[in-house]
A and B are shown apart, each in its own frame.
Chain A
Amino acid sequence: MSHEVVAALELSLLVAAVSIVVVGPPAIALGYVMARHAFPGRDLLAALLGLPLVLPPTAIGLLLLRLFGARGPLGRDTLGIDLGFLLTWRGAVAACSVMALPLVVRTARVTFEGVDPRLEAMARTLGHGAVATFGLFTLPLAARGLVAAAILGFTRAVGEFGATVMVAGNIPGRTRTLASGIYAAQQAGREREATVLVVVAIAVGLVAIFASERLTRSAPRRGRG
C-alpha cells in the first residue's frame, strides 16, 4: 500500500475512534433517559437528534462551518481563542461525531428499552442507589447492545464524507480520510489508488459487521430472570 493509502486509513480509524469516545457518553445518557423517562419534548428531542440521518451531510457540514467559523458562536472572534476545528482532523471528528450521534443514541435507546426495568427495581430493593444500579446492573445488562451501537457509530464515522469535507477539507496527509481519498483519487484519475482505497474500506466494513453480528447474536437471554 502506498504512503497515501496508509495515511488515509490511519486518519479514518483515528477520527472514527475519537468520535466514538466523544459520542459514547452523551449517547448513552440520552438513550437511557429517552428509554426510561417520558418527559415533555421527548419526541421533539428525538426528531432533532434524528436530523443528521435525513439531512444531506453537506448541510450538517455547512452548519458546523457557521458554528466554528471566525464569527460563529464557537469561532475565534467570539471566544477569543481558536478551537482549531477548521481544516484540521479535529474538524473531521466534530463532523463525524454529529453524523454518528443519532445512530448511537437510537441503538442505545432500543438496547435500554430491552433491559427489564423490574431488574433495576430489584437492584434498588437489594440496597443499590439509582447511580449504582445503573452502573452495576443496567450497563452490564445492556453491554452487548451498547458495544454494537458503538461499532455502528464507528462505521458511520469511517464512511462519513460530506460533512467532513466541508469542515476539515481534503488535505492529503492531514485531513484526507478513506472516504475523501476515494473521491480525490477518482477525480484525479488515479484509478489504482482509488481501487486500493475501496478494498481497504470493504475490509474495515466487513470486520465491523462481523463483530457486530457476533455480539448481537450471542446476546444473553433476557426477561426470564
Chain B
Amino acid sequence: MLRVDVQLELSSFPLEVAVLADRRVTGIFGPSGAGKTSLLEVVIGLRRDARGSVEAFGSTWLDSAGSIFVPPEERGIGYVPQEGLLFPHLDVRGNLLAGARSRARRVAGADAAELTRVCALLEIDTLLDRPVSTLSAGQRQRVALARAVCSRPRLLVLDEPLASLELPLRRRILPFLRRLRDELDLPILYVSHEPLEIQALADEVIVLRQGRVVAQGPPARVLADPEVFALSPDEEYENVLAAVAGEAEDGEGRAVELAPGVRLRVPAFAGATGSTVLVSIPAQQVLLAVESPRSLSAQNVLPAVVRDVRPAGALRLVASELRPGGAELVAEVTPRACVDLDLRAGREVFMIVKQTGCRVYAPSSDAPSSAPMS
C-alpha cells in the first residue's frame, strides 16, 4: 500500500527512512522530536525538499531522481493534525464540505449520505451549524476527523490526534477512533508517542528514533521490547486489551470478557452490554503467584501460562497467556521474583489484577464536564 524510502535534512539529525506499510492500520511510534511529523509531511506532500521515493496504491508520489512530485491535492489523503486545524471562517458543516466538495468533482457519488453516516459515527450530527470557535476540544478533534473522512481519501493520516486533549477526553475519543477504524474500509497511518494508542489501534507499528526506524512489527510484541517502551513518556509497559462489556451492575465494578471464558472485573463505566471497550493495565499493576491465592482484596485472579520472560532494564517482563486462551497479559517483576517463583516459559501461574488498576476506554459522547477549551 505505501512504500517510503526517503532522506530529509532536519534541524538536529537527518531523517532516513525505508519502510513498507501494507497493513490496514500502521502505527508510527516514537518520542517527541523523532521525526514522525516530518515523515508524515513527506507522505502527504508538504515537504518538497525530501530526497528518495514514495509509492502508494500503485502510483509514484515522489521520486526525486525522476523529478516526480505529486502535489498534496492529488494524493487523496485525509489528514488530521494534532491541532485539528479547522477553518475558523467556516462553520462545522462548511468545514466538512471543504473536503467533500473539492473531490466530488473527481469521485462520482460523493454524497450527503456519506456525510450523514460519518457524522453519526462520530456523534457530531448536532453540531453542524455551530461556528467552530464554540466547539470543545474533543468536538474539534471529531470534526477534524469527520472532515478528513468526508474528503473521501484513499488513506487516512492521523498525526497525534489525541495529544492536545486532556487525559479524560482522550479516553473518550479513543473509542471513536476505533469505531472509525472498524466501520471504514480505509488504510490508516497513525502517529503517536503513546504506546497505548498504538496498541489500541494499529495492526503493525513502526518505531522511529532520531530519524531512523529502529523496530517494526506487531504492536503487542514491539512495544513490549524494553528498548522501545523506554521511549514512551512513562517508560513503562502498559497492557491494552480489547474486551466485551458485560452487564451493567449497581455496584462500583463491572465485568468484561477479554476472551471466551476470560473475565475481568474493572471499574464501572457507561456503555451498552456487548459493546467493545478497551482496558489498559500497567504491567506494574499485575502480580504473579504460583499457587491460587485465597482471601485476597484484589478482584481478579486469572490462571495463565507463561509464554516468555524478557529483561527490561533492572526488571523482567513476564508475558503470559490467560486461560482458557485468547488473551495475553504482561506483568513486571523483579529478577529475584523470577528466581523464587521459577518463572519460565510453560510455567503455570496466577495473575492478580486489582479492579482499580484497570482503566476502561468506552465510547461516549461529551459528558457535561467537558467545558469548551477554546
Which residues of chain A are within 8 angstroms of B88 by Cβ–Cβ distance? 141, 220-222, 224-225
Contact A122 B83 (CB under 8 A): no
B140 CB, nearest partner CB in chain A, Å: 8
Which A residues, 144 to 186, have Cβ-Cβ distances below 8 Å to chain B? none
Q: Interface centre among A121, A126, A130, A221, by most B CB within 10 Å?
A: A126
Q: How far is the CA of A116 from the CA of B79 in the complex (A)?
A: 16
The range of chain B's interface size is 20 to 34
Which A residues, 127 to 143, have Cβ-Cβ distances below 8 Å to chain B? 127-130, 132-133, 136-137, 140-141, 143
A94 CB, nearest partner CB in chain B, Å: 35
Q: Is B85 an interface residue (CB 8 A)?
A: yes
Which residues of chain A are within 8 angstroms of B77 by Cβ–Cβ distance? 125
Q: How many A-B residue pairs have CB under 8 A?
A: 76
A-side interface mostly: helix
Q: Is B116 an interface residue (CB 8 A)?
A: no
B-side interface mostly: loop
With A125-B44, A220-B133, A224-B374: A118-B99 Cβ-Cβ less than 8 Å: no
Contact B102 A132 (CB under 8 A): yes
Q: Is A123 an interface residue (CB 8 A)?
A: yes
Q: Is A124 an interface residue (CB 8 A)?
A: yes
Q: Is A119 an interface residue (CB 8 A)?
A: yes
Q: Is B151 an interface residue (CB 8 A)?
A: yes
Q: How far is the CA of A220 from the CA of B73 in the complex (A)?
A: 27
Q: How far is the CA of A118 from the CA of B132 in the complex (A)?
A: 17
Q: How far is the CA of A133 from the CA of B73 in the complex (A)?
A: 10
Contact A118 B73 (CB under 8 A): no
Which residues of chain B are within 8 angstroms of A141 by Cβ–Cβ distance? 87-89
Measured CB to CB, the nearest residue on chain B to A144 is: B89
9 interchain pairs (CB within 8 A)? A124-B72, A125-B45, A125-B46, A125-B79, A141-B87, A141-B88, A220-B88, A224-B374, A225-B84
Nearest 4 pairs of A and B residues by beta carbon: A127-B102, A126-B99, A225-B85, A124-B72
B residues adjacent to A (C-beta < 8 A): 44-46, 71-73, 75-79, 81, 83-89, 98-99, 102-103, 106, 132-133, 147, 151, 374
